[in-house]
């Protein structure tokens, strides 16, 4: 299932040049080193964004994700390395490369002129014939639902409207590569959801190669075909979003993607793709890919765990892990409730559940319960050395 079980800290990224039946990547990065303020803040031996797909670059603040985007936008000249677009080194023709890409930033950056002229001016920079500009601008403004604002001055727009205009301008340029730097993060929740839906539809329909920098997991899950996770200026994991978010390559990745349960475990047994690890709190079955490591960190996302009262729990099955425990703390977590459970042997588990479930189970601090999760919901990160 997972192909990301390579040893930390640097799992080898998929080689974009290897003929593995896929189309050659649109964007390729090799041996990249970018300096800011005299310090190397990004070091990427290899990175690729496949053609026609959305690659989400995620990571905590200071991970280098915005630096990577700025390098792809040719806004920073790397200290070394090669960036290429469709096989051609980007820095061989910076202006030509910029005219084949389009960027949208966190804040909508419009010129002080009307909405329509903002798009037309961008088309003018790309030498689109004057006669075509207006129709093309209006077509894309309509596609983003802001054609009604065409004659308004850019200053008179709300944040959401302005960002729609920025996106319309970017799409109107019909770029080979779309570069987005957290374009939805400054918007309020309803505006944001609506815009992400529209954006997803357009990206799907145009099939434009996209690199999206975001710190938002939901956004990455919703939009990305591929996730590249950076921490501390290096690529820590890349793969389909479901894999990165449920099968983190190392503990730091686990912490960033919200895998709150990371338990050190010792291998007890393995058979037919399932390894059994002893963790504090009991034995846990984990679906594995290949041979099981003798020592591992067992990861489970809180939302993969279901909770039952001890006498209501169903019969044990081989596919389910069941760990008894007691409620140690109940914390609100947005629409959900986060429960900290005390397991046997000072084991700790974090699980989330809905408020109605919490009320139905009549849980309070000290209540006994049984936590269960599928073996396929658990993931083992091989771990060298002893724990302690």
Partner 1 sequence: MEFLWDGLREAVKLWLSGDPEIIEITLRTLGISIVATSLSLAVGVPIGAALALKSFPGRRPVVALVNTGMGMPPVVVGLVVALILWRSGPLGALELIYTPSAMVLAQFLIAVPLVVGFSMASIQQINPRLLDQIVSLGASRPQFLWLIVREARLGLLAALMAGFGAVISEVGAALMVGGNIAGETRVLTTATALETSRGNFEVAIALGVVLLVLAYVVNLIFTGVQQQRRPA
Going by C-alpha positions, the residue among 299, 272, 281 that lies closest to residue 383 is 299
Task: Compute the least distance from the CB of residue 52 to partner 1, in Å.
Answer: 21
Beta bridge partners of 284: 277
Interface with partner 1 includes 84 (CB under 8 A)?
no
Cis omega before residue 9 (within 30°)? Answer: yes
Per CB under 8 A, the segment of 103-111, 225-233, 315-323, 373-381 that binds partner 1 is 103-111
Question: With the C-alpha atoms ordered 69, 220, 331, 341, is the resulting torsion angle positive or negative?
Answer: negative
Interface with partner 1 includes 125 (CB under 8 A)?
yes
Interface with partner 1 includes 103 (CB under 8 A)?
yes
Per CB under 8 A, the segment of 16-24, 98-106, 271-279, 345-353 that binds partner 1 is 98-106
Chain residues 267-286 in contact with partner 1, contact rule CB under 8 A: none
Chain residues 171-200 in contact with partner 1, contact rule CB under 8 A: 173, 179
Asked if residue 191 lies in contact with residue 164, where contact means CB atoms within 8 angstroms, the answer is no
Per CB under 8 A, the segment of 58-66, 97-105, 230-238, 293-301 that binds partner 1 is 97-105
Interface with partner 1 includes 201 (CB under 8 A)?
no
Select 110 or 369, whichever has its Cβ closest to partner 1.
Answer: 110
- Enter the tokens of residue 94: 């910076």
Single out the residue of 31, 36, 62, 75 in contact with partner 1 (rule: CB under 8 A). Answer: 75
Single out the residue of 1, 40, 74, 202 in contact with partner 1 (rule: CB under 8 A). Answer: 74
Helices (H) and strands (E) in the chain, counts: 10, 20
Single out the residue of 2, 5, 101, 243 in contact with partner 1 (rule: CB under 8 A). Answer: 101
Q: Name the DSSP letter for residue 250.
A: S
Per CB under 8 A, the segment of 121-129, 292-300, 318-326, 357-365 that binds partner 1 is 121-129
Build a one-symbol-per-residue string for 33-72: x at contacts with partner 1 by CB under 8 A, - elsewhere.
-------------------------------------x--
Q: Coil, strand or helix: which one is 254?
A: helix
Asked if residue 267 lies in contact with residue 295, where contact means CB atoms within 8 angstroms, the answer is yes
Single out the residue of 18, 19, 38, 112 in contact with partner 1 (rule: CB under 8 A). Answer: 112
Select 102 or 305, whichever has its Cβ closest to partner 1.
Answer: 102
Beta bridge partners of 32: 44
DSSP notation for 279-343: ETTEEEEEE-SSSPPSEEEEEE-GGG-EEE-TTT-----TTEEEEEEEEEEEEEETTEEEEEEEE
Q: How many CA atoms lie within 13 A of 56 on its CB side?
A: 25
Going by C-alpha positions, the residue among 62, 73, 58 that lies closest to residue 27 is 73
Print burial letters for 23-37: b (CB count within 10 Å at least 16), e (below 16).
eebbbbbbebbbeee
Single out the residue of 153, 217, 222, 338 in contact with partner 1 (rule: CB under 8 A). Answer: 153
Asked if residue 304 lies in contact with residue 260, where contact means CB atoms within 8 angstroms, the answer is no
Per CB under 8 A, the segment of 101-109, 256-264, 277-285, 308-316 that binds partner 1 is 101-109
Interface with partner 1 includes 306 (CB under 8 A)?
no
Select 170 or 228, whichever has its Cβ closest to partner 1.
Answer: 170
Distance between CA atoms of residues 277 and 296, nearest Å: 8
Interacting residues toward partner 1 by CB under 8 A = 70, 73-75, 95, 98-99, 101-103, 105, 107, 109, 111-114, 121-122, 125-126, 153, 169, 173, 179
């Amino acid at each position: 299932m997972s192909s990301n079980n390579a040893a930390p800290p640097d799992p080898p990224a998929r080689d974009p040049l290897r003929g593995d039946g896929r189309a050659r990547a649109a964007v390729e990065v090799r041996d990249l080193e970018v300096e800011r303020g005299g310090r190397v803040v990004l070091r990427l031996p290899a990175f690729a964004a496949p053609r026609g797909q959305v690659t989400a670059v995620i990571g905590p603040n200071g991970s280098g994700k915005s630096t990577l985007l700025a390098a792809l936008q040719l806004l920073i000249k790397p200290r070394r390395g090669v960036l290429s677009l469709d096989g051609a080194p980007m820095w061989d023709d910076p202006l030509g490369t910029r005219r084949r890409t389009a960027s949208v930033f966190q804040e909508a950056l419009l010129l002080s002129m009307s909405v329509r002229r903002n798009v037309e001016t961008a088309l003018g920079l790309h030498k689109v014939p004057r006669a075509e500009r207006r129709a093309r601008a209006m077509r894309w403004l309509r596609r983003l639902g802001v054609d009604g604002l065409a004659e308004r001055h850019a200053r008179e727009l709300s944040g959401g409207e302005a960002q729609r205009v920025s996106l319309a301008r970017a799409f109107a340029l019909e770029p080979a590569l779309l570069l987005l730097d957290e374009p939805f993060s400054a918007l309020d929740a309803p505006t944001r959801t609506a815009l992400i839906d529209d954006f997803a539809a357009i990206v799907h329909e145009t099939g434009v190669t996209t690199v999206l920098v975001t710190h938002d997991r939901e956004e990455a899950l919703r939009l990305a075909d591929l996730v590249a996770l950076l921490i501390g200026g290096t690529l820590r994991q890349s793969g389909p979003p479901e894999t990165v978010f449920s099968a983190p390559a190392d503990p730091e990745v686990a912490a960033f993607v919200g895998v709150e349960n990371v338990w050190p475990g010792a291998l007890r047994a393995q058979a037919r793709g399932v390894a059994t690890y002893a963790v504090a709190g009991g034995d846990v079955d984990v679906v594995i890919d290949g041979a099981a490591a003798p020592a591992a960190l067992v990861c489970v996302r809180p939302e993969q765990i279901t909770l039952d009262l001890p006498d209501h729990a169903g019969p044990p099955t081989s596919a389910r892990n069941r760990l008894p425990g007691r409620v140690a703390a109940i914390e609100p977590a947005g629409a959900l409730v986060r429960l900290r459970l005390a397991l046997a042997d000072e084991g700790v588990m974090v699980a989330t559940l809905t408020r109605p479930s919490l009320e139905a189970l009549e849980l309070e601090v000290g209540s006994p319960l049984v936590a269960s999760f599928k073996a396929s919901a658990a993931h083992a990160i091989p771990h060298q050395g002893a724990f302690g």
